[in-house]
Amino acid sequence: MQEIIEKCDEVSAVLKSLSHPVRLKVLCRVLDGEISVNDLTEFCGIAQSAMSQFLIRMRGEGLLESRKEGTHVFYRIADSRTKKLLKSIREIYCK
C-alpha cells in the first residue's frame, strides 16, 4: 500500500500532462516514432512558438527526449512506461 501512496504524485503528474489535448496529440504522434518539431507543429496545427512551449514543458516533465541534427530538433518518448500507457489509451479509444 505504501508503494501506491508514493507513486500517486508521479502518476497524477503524468495524467495531468495527458489531460491537455495538444500534449496528448504530441505524445500520440511521437508514439509512432521520432519526429521533428516542424512536423509536430504541422500535425497539431498550432504556431511553432506555442509548440515550443509545449515541448519545453514535456521535456521538463520527463515525458520527451530530444536530439539535434543540424538545425532540426527531433523528439521521442523518454520513458517506456509512458509508451505503455499511450499504447493502452490508443487501444481502448482509437481502435
Of the candidates 31, 28, 32, 54, the residue with the CA atom closest to the CA atom of residue 41 = 54
Distance, CA of 27 to CA of 83 (rounded, Å): 9
pLDDT of residue 6: 83
For residue range 17-40, what is the model confidence (pLDDT) as tens digits?
899 999 999 999 999 999 999 999
Give Dmax (Cα) for the chain. 48
Question: 27: buried, middle or exposed (CB in 10 Å: 19+, 13-18, 0-12)?
Answer: buried
CATH number of 2-93: 1.10.10.10
Distance, CA of 95 to CA of 91 (rounded, Å): 6
Q: What is the pLDDT confidence band of residue 61, given thresholds at 50, 70 and 90?
A: very high
The structural domains of the chain, with segments of one domain joined by +, span 2-93
SS3 52: helix
> Model pTM?
0.88
Amino acid of residue 89: I
For residue range 64-74, what is the model confidence (pLDDT) as tens digits?
999 999 999 99
The answer, yes or no, to whether residue 95 has pLDDT greater than 90, is no
Amino acid of residue 55: L
